[in-house]
Structure 1
Amino acid sequence: MESVSRIQVLTPAVVNKIAAGEVIERPASVIKELLENSLDALCNRIDVEVEDGGAELIRIVDDGEGILPDDLPLAVTSHATSKLRQADDLFCVQTMGFRGEALASIAEVSQFRLRSRARGESIGAELAVNCGQRSEIVPCGMAQGTQIEIRQLFCNTPVRRKFLKKAGTEFGYISEQFSRVALAVPRLQMSLTHNGKNVYRLPAGQQLLERLTLFYGSSVTDKLIPIETQHHNVRLWGYVGHPSLHKGTRKSQYLFLNGRYIQDRSLLHALNEAYRGLVMVGRHPVAFLFIEMPGDQVDVNVHPTKSEVRFRDGSLLFRMLLSTLRTKFLQSDLQSTLSIKPAGNPAAPTLQNKQERVERDLVSWAKQQLEHQVAQRVTTPPDAPSPMPAAPSQPMEKSEAGSDDLGADAFLAAMENSGGNEPTTVPFAEQEPVASTASDMQSASMPVPQPSEQRSGIPALQVDDCYIVLSTDQGLTVIDQHALHERVLYERFRNKILEERVEVQKLLVPLTLELSDEQVALLLDQQQMLQQMGFQVEEFGRGMLAVASHPVFLGHQVIEDVIRGFADKLGSSETVTRRDLLDETLHMMACKAAVKAGQKLTPDEIVSLLAQRDIVDDAHHCPHGRPTALVLSREELDRQFGRLGA
């Protein structure tokens, strides 16, 4: 009996349908491929028209170089392209497309019509393809450029068509593809129409910021910070959002490489690292970043849609982006501004009640201060003891712009390089036991400088034992006392560890903690890290851990919380890097040691806390990314009291 071969060569029609499934996922995929073809044709104008979310009609018209009549059949043939000649060309691609798959794939699953008139030709030519079946080429009258019309997308693949979402959702994907090209090449004149309604009409010759305003509005662009850096022949530039401008998803993070929208996990990681501590956990910064580099330094042929690329030196770009953003943030004003909503909105009653309470407190407090000044006419001596941590008499020298000496990376490097595989010994300060209060963070006898931004006269006011209100050059500033103190302590802890000068308090009677066997093992495995932070821990029997010493700046009552929190993080199922573990532990230590909401502060403590705003790297955000202060500007006050336009 003759056996039948089980392996067969697929027919061209089946091959094309498989290829179409890889390249063309939905109508937005068609838009992307056709827009890139128009860019490669060196056009100055692109008009996009769609109906029913692109399922019924997609029409794109450009004024580019056009296609010669004899080349029309090749344009819809698989693996036929004008952009490559040999394999080596793949490693220096300068065009958006290069595989020669898009038009052939689209024509295989739709009613496809291609009309084009090349430069120098007096008349155009038209080619129709119905689900892979070509018709004869016929002449047609048209202006220079190319017009592609796709009807009934996926008409011969009903399963794929069935899985298309609602027209509004599909158009949302189309609009996103349109906006990516519009931002990548703002010089282009572009329009987008859906079901006969004009959605976007973008003029030619715009600057990037102008185009961003058209898409996102001035409420976003007013909070964008320009950045630019260059290393040899690699240029990185664009705009990043002020930390107060953040989103719930990463959809507002755009990366462009040589005019092409890309996705790169490493660069997005660098972006998020730069915003660490500036944006709240779970929120994401806004960024529009552009990379320009020679084509031979990047491989774009690693993904069917060319959205993922492989850089020859990805670490260089990572460092460029991270250092540029950190430098820019050090040089920028990251303070948040408070804008009160107009009266009549649902939140107005609550806001009005809070304003009335603040006004009553202000009046009462002002009377007390004036009576006190008239009666005594004295000020606190600069060397008077203060139970709050006082600021150094001179601001600490900050690192030069662009240096990461005080950043998380340097912190990690210092921890890892402080002795190789040998345990690093932290200088133990031999001293008497000290009181375990928040005032132990620093010597109280240091002089307290007056905050540079605070106006002279009546000092600051504490409201509800939670917020500090003061008048500054920017307007009325409201400070979250816990958030600001947390930032001050976090940077102080970090700097002490970086400089290997953690002062340690030895306990006469070790603190014993009852933990699980697993937690004890995890903590003992990290003894070196704990010791470098000022904790000396030892096993004290089964399921017990003894803490023999702790950092001086931590009170006794928070030691147990910090150690248990550290153990919980070690035992979590999440993948935590060494740097993240160290940083989060510092966050926890600062949070536990900082003054709390509801804790009343003396005038000296308030002055001391405000003075330290001038000596921290970022006084505008707590380590978790929450703002430490909000500013109600003079203009906003005038507007609320009806003084504007009088």
Structure 2
Amino acid sequence: MTSHTPNIRPIIRQLDETTANRIAAGEVVERPASAVKELVENALDAGAQRIDVTIEAGGKRLIRVSDDGCGMTADDLPLALSRHATSKIDGSDLLAINSFGFRGEALPSLGAVGRLTITSRAAGADGAEITVTGGKSTPARPAAGNRGTVVELRDLFHATPARLKFMRSDRAETQAVAEVLRRLAMAEPFVGVSLTADGRNLFRADAEQGDLFGAMQARLGQVMGRDFIDNAISIDAERDGVTLTGFAALPTYSRGAAVAQHLYVNGRPVRDKLLTGALRAGYMDVLAQGRHPAAVLYLSCDPQLVDVNVHPAKAEVRFRDPAAARGLLVTTLRHALASAGHRASSTVGDATLAAFRSEPAAQTTPRPQYQMDYRPSAMARKAAFDLQAPVIDPMAAQDPGFAESPSARFEETEDGDHDVSAPLGAARAQIHENYIIAQTEDGMVVIDQHAAHERLVYERLKEQAEHAGIPSQALLIPEIVELSENDATRILAISDQLARLGLVIEAFGGGAVAIRETPAMLTRLDAPALIRDILDDLADQGASDRLRGRIDAVLSSMACHGSIRSGRRMNAEEMNALLREMERTPKSGQCNHGRPTWVKLRLSDIERLFGRRD
């Protein structure tokens, strides 16, 4: 509905600069974390080697960003506070952008909604300071300071108090600021970064040294945690002028939410649907339901191939050839995960050890203040040894056995045939007719025989389908699907890909398409609904793996029914053959449902469980 009275022409007014800046601030500065992001990116563009951020009350009361970059002169300061004034680009080519910022909106927007003070000194020039409150600036005045810039923003949104009602708690805003700073720190490993909140040091990452890859690995280990690096696969690929580097975690090192996914385009952190969809596709058949991959990936290309001028926050990008970027990410991830072979996350073993450790007993009496000798007496030791001795039945003709028969079956094996130096060791026993115990050089491995063989059969079925193609079944009466002309053109453009997966379609005139054949293994398939789902994926992500996913689900089910069942006894040769095949098969570290197929326990950790090591 319109607010003006009918038959009365509304008057067009030119908004004043202060109002225009406040409107712009609503797009650029959504919350304190947005302000920190803009200021830190400015510091990075200024060539800073050290950036220190201080906030109070989640950034609502104070945001201070100090850097040792190139700085500004007294003449630069008033210009820096003007809208669309920037040193990053000259305006001749909006695709030739090699900096974080380029719009020239951040500083005037911050000055329009808060109390902004900028103190700066360039090399060979005197220091200067300028203040802006509610869009009104003072003349630049002399100020003392080291080379670089200090931007201090107080009382954010004091000029637009309605925005304060939408702010979250101080703790939540502080966490958002810390997340922004960590994401930027992962993009620039050679720059030192710190965050102090309400007097407490929350985050610090010193500048890394050495080559780029080593510096990136060290920075990610500091920000993401050592476990991430220990359980990640290095990524390095290039295609058609687009380079993909970074680290992708093993499928068994997954998260309950998409909180450990960090994507960068030409060094800029982005949240792009195309790339996040490609990341999910790369892990399509190796993750458990409800789990999300962890990855830090850097896409680099000629700035002419990607448009970052899509949104004021610059969190979205648009590729000139989105299919090429997506294809590179998907195929590289799948190849890397396949190359990882039987690897599984080390955190699985840590969780297993934690399950073995008993809970400490509640302390009911105070500990004595004197030392006691807890060594058992000779009589007590003899009684303990007698209780552990084999029970001998004088009426039995067989060899003596243990008082309680073990639940495991131990297989006699020739040491020369099965070497414990193999990655998964040599099988020594099977317990509960489902778990294989193997001995390695430095510990032991527990294998879920059904889950492991299920993955092996699944990978064989996928390989056969890849080489022989997915068999299709012709329909007696083709199914006609009525679509818009745009949708029909879009689905027919990928008809060759669908045909390789057993779904054959062709144009039927106007916006209709005819479904001639469907994959034979997909019984009771609602083909028209599948076509529309694929079209939704194409509209949302530019590509679709929906049909591939359904076929993989059928192959997975076939593998489940065709693999070694739980409860089946295996001899030593069968168990060791399974271990060797696991070592040769891609993705055998997790079953078809994303669960680990094996767990490794180091001997040193086992000894600690029994108090043999400190």
> TM-score surpassing 0.5?
yes
The structural deviation recorded for 1:130 is: 1.0
Taking the aligned partners of 1:224 and 1:205, their CA distance within structure 2 comes to 20
- For 2:600, the aligned partner's letter is V
SS of alignment partner, residue 115 of structure 1: strand
Give the aligned partner of residue 403 of structure 1. Answer: none
Q: Which residue does 2:460 correspond to in 1?
A: 492
Match of 1:418 in 2: none
Instruction: Name the structure 2 match of 1:146.
Output: 149
Which of 178, 184, 190 lines up with 1:175 in the alignment?
178
The 2-side partners of 1:458 and 1:303 are apart by 57
- Structure 1 counterpart of 2:200, which letter? K
Separation in structure 1 between the aligned mates of residue 27 and residue 53 of structure 2, nearest angstrom:
23
Point out the more displaced range, 257-266 or 17-26. Answer: 257-266
Q: Summarize the Cα distance change of 1:611–1:101 in structure 2 as closer, same or farther, 3 Å threshold.
A: closer
Per the alignment, residue 159 of structure 2 pairs with 156
Residue of 591, 599, 624 corresponding to 2:560? 591
Deviations 1:481-522 (CA, angstroms, capped at 9, x unpaired): 221222122223223333439999xxxxxxxxxxxxxxxxxx
Question: Would the aligned equivalents of 1:299 and 1:310 in 2 still touch at CA under 8 Å?
Answer: yes
Q: 1:83 to 1:614 in 2, by over 3 A?
A: closer
Write the mapping of 1:618-629 to structure 2, written as runs, cut at 5 A. 618-629=587-598
SS in 2 for 1:113: strand
Q: Give the deviation of 1:574 after TM superposition.
A: 6.5
Per-residue deviation at 1:304?
A: 1.4
Question: Which one of 260, 278, 281 corresponds to residue 252 of structure 1?
Answer: 260
Instruction: Provide the secondary structure at the position in 2 that maps to 1:49.
Output: strand
Q: What are the equivalent positions in structure 2 for 1:255-404 lying under 5 Å apart?
A: 255-332=263-340, 333-337=342-346, 338-339=349-350, 340-341=353-354, 346=359, 364=406
The 8 Å contact of residues 435 and 449 in structure 2, kept in 1 or not, is answered as yes
* Cα distance in structure 1, aligned partners of 2:425 and 2:200: 60
* CA distance in structure 1 between the aligned counterparts of 2:409 and 2:304, rounded to whole angstroms: 72
Question: Aligned partners of 2:452 and 2:313: how far apart in 1?
Answer: 46
Partner SS, residue 174 of structure 1: helix
Post-superposition CA distance 1:377-404 (Å, at most 9, x none): 9xxxxxxxxxxxxxxxxxxxxxxxxxxx
Shift in alpha-carbon separation, 1:274–1:451, aligned structure 2, 3 A: farther
**What is the CA–CA distance in structure 2 between the aligned matches of 1:500 and 1:78, rounded to whole Å?**
61
Describe the SS at the equivalent of 2:53.
strand
User: CA deviation digits over 1:228-283, x for unaligned, max 9?
Assistant: 22346533211121222111122211112222111233333333223233322221
Question: In structure 1, what residue type is equivalent to 2:354?
Answer: K
Match of 1:75 in 2: 80
What's the counterpart of residue 440 of structure 1? none
CA distance in 1, matches of 2:432, 2:528: 34
Instruction: State the 1:8 CA deviation.
Output: 2.6
Question: Is the Cα–Cα contact under 8 Å of residues 110 and 154 in structure 1 kept in the other structure?
Answer: yes
Deviation at 1:305, TM superposition (A): 0.7
Q: Which residue of 2 aligns with 1:468?
A: 436
Query: Which of 37, 45, 54 is matched with 1:32 structurally?
Result: 37
Match of 1:401 in 2: none
CA contact (8 A) 2:21 2:112 kept: yes
Match of 2:510 in 1: none
CA root-mean-square deviation: 3.8
> Aligned in 2, Cα 1:309/1:51: closer, same or farther, shift over 3 Å?
same
Deviations 1:455-498 (A, max 9, x none): 99995533223322232446322221221222122223223333
Which of 488-497 and 47-56 deviates more? 488-497
Aligned amino acid, residue 140 of structure 1: A
- CA drift at 1:125: 1.3
The DSSP-based 3-state class of the residue aligned with 2:95 is helix
- Any unmatched runs of 5+ in structure 1? 349-359, 378-448, 505-527, 534-549, 552-561
- Counterpart Cα distance in 2 of 1:79 and 1:182: 27
Kept in 1: contact 2:419–2:426 (CA 8 A): no
What corresponds to 1:132 in structure 2?
Answer: 135
Q: 1:133 is matched by which residue type in structure 2?
A: K
In 2 relative to 1, CA 589–367 (structure 1 residues): closer, same or farther, beyond 3 Å? closer
Secondary structure at the aligned position of 1:335 is classed as coil
> Secondary structure at 1:461's aligned position in 2?
strand
* Corresponding position: 1:217 with 2:217: no
For the 8 Å contact 1:454–1:471, the answer to whether it is kept is no
What is the correspondence of 1:437-456 to structure 2 with a 5 Å cutoff? none
Structural mapping, 1:178-257, within 5 Å? 178-206=181-209, 207-231=215-239, 233-257=241-265
Separation of aligned partners in 1, 2:425 and 2:86: 75
Partner of 1:517: none
The answer (yes or no) to whether the contact 1:16–1:108 under 8 Å persists in 2 is yes
Q: Determine which of 52, 55, 58 is the counterpart of 2:60.
A: 55
Amino acid at match of 2:168: K
Distance 1:474 1:320, change over 3 A: farther
CA contact (8 A) 1:276 1:625 kept: no
- What do residues 339-371 of structure 1 show as CA deviations (whole Å, max 9, x unaligned)? 3028765499xxxxxxxxxxx99973778756x
In 1, Cα distance between the equivalents of 2:187 and 2:420?
Answer: 43
Partner residue in 1 for 2:374: none
Letter in 2 for 1:364: P
* Contact 1:451/1:613 (8 A) holds in 2: no
Contact preservation (8 Å) 2:208, 2:218: no
Deviations 1:127-177 (A, max 9, x none): 111111122221111111111111110012111111100000001110011
What is the rounded CA distance, in whole Å, between the counterparts of 2:471 and 2:23 in structure 1? Answer: 67
Q: Measure the CA separation in 1 of the matches of 2:274 and 2:189.
A: 26
| In 1: Cα distance, 2:63 partner to 2:424 partner | 66
Q: Aligned partners of 1:454, 1:365: CA distance in 2, in Å?
A: 27
The aligned length equals: 506
Q: Is the 8 A contact 2:501 2:548 kept in 1?
A: no
Distance 1:530 1:91 in 2: 38
C-alpha separation in 2, matches of 1:270 and 1:629: 28
The alpha-carbon deviation at position 326 of structure 1 amounts to: 3.1
2:447 pairs with one of 475, 479, 484: 479
Note closer, same or farther for the CA distance 1:470–1:105 as it changes in structure 2 (3 Å cut). same
How far residue 93 of structure 1 moved from its aligned partner, in angstroms, is 0.6
Percent of pairs identical after alignment? Answer: 36
Please report how far the alpha carbon of residue 600 of structure 1 lies from its aligned counterpart in structure 2 after TM superposition. 5.1
Relative to structure 2, which stretch is displaced further, 580-589 or 231-240? 231-240
Q: Could you say which residue in structure 2 is the equivalent of 1:519?
A: none
Which secondary structure state, in structure 1, belongs to the residue aligned with residue 93 of structure 2?
helix
Give 5+ residue unaligned stretches, structure 2.
Answer: 1-6, 210-214, 362-401, 473-497, 504-519, 535-544
**CA–CA separation in structure 2 for the residues paired with 1:131 and 1:262:** 30
**2:269 counterpart letter in structure 1:** Y
Query: Residue 616 in 1 paired to residue 560 in 2?
Result: no
Return the letter of the residue paired with 1:224: A
**Helix, strand or coil for the counterpart of 1:15?**
helix
Give, as a single letter, the amino acid of the residue that structure 2 aligns with 1:237.
Answer: T
Structure 1 position 316, deviation (Å):
2.8
Residues 204 and 614 from structure 1, CA distance in 2 versus in 1: closer, same or farther, beyond 3 angstroms?
A: closer
Evaluate the alpha carbon distance shift between residue 324 and residue 346 of structure 1 in structure 2; reply closer, same or farther with a 3 A threshold: same
Amino acid at match of 2:406: S
Alignment-derived partner of residue 399 in structure 2: none
Residue 18 to residue 141, structure 1, CA distance change in 2 (3 Å): same
**Is the partner of 1:186 in helix, strand or coil?**
coil
**Partner of 2:21 in structure 1?**
16
Please tell me whether the aligned partners of residues 114 and 128 of structure 1 are also in contact (alpha carbons under 8 angstroms). Answer: yes
What one-letter code is carried by the residue in structure 2 that aligns with 1:186? Answer: P
Moved more, 221-230 or 89-98: 221-230
Name the TM-score, length of structure 2 as normaliser: 0.73
2:101 counterpart of 1:97:
yes
